[in-house]
Amino acid sequence: MSTDSRLYSVVFNKCPRCHQGNFFVSNSAFSKNFDKMHEHCPHCGENFMPEPGFYWASMFVSYAFYTIYTLLTFFIVVQWLQIDVNYYLIGLMPTLILLTPYFFRMARRTWLTLFIAPKPQHKTEMPTQG
Ligand SMILES: [Zn+2]
């Protein structure tokens, strides 16, 4: 995957602007502080909190991820592998719960990436306070 693409920053927890600094503090979606974000990019200083309540709409992105996952696994498990739909539904619930932190992080990165154009060669200094 090209490091210049928007998908790179979404998948690999990187800043949507410079693709260097981390978006979330932790690189793992399954750590204690999976939801802790940097307020600014540690590399280029891009603001990750454009306005209060900015990430409310990422819930809809998260919903889209759940829907895509559910449809995809349904067609693989029930249609292709011919496994009973009741077993599929029993297995679906725990996987959706386990994937919640992963989809949460992916949704936030996707939502911010929609509004920030990537500039991977962007080499700016951290903004100075004052
Ligand atoms: Zn950055």
| CA–centroid distance, residue 44 to ligand 1 (Å) | 4
7 vs 33: CA distance, rounded Å:
23
| CA–centroid distance, residue 28 to ligand 1 (Å) | 19
| CA–centroid distance, residue 63 to ligand 1 (Å) | 27
pLDDT computed for residue 126 by the predictor = 56
pLDDT computed for residue 127 by the predictor = 57
pLDDT computed for residue 117 by the predictor = 87
| 114 contacts: CB under 8 Å, gap ≥ 6 | none
What would the two tokens of residue 3 be?
A: 């490091």
| 34 contacts: CB under 8 Å, gap ≥ 6 | 24, 26, 28, 101, 104, 105
The model carries a pTM of 0.84
pLDDT computed for residue 70 by the predictor = 97
Domain residue spans of the chain: 6-113
| CA–centroid distance, residue 69 to ligand 1 (Å) | 29
15 vs 118: CA distance, rounded Å:
9
Torsion sign, CA atoms 50, 53, 55, 57: negative
pLDDT tens, position by position, for the chain (130 residues)?
777 888 999 999 999 999 999 999 999 999 999 999 999 999 999 999 999 999 999 999 999 999 999 999 999 999 999 999 999 999 999 999 999 999 999 999 999 999 998 886 644 455 555 5
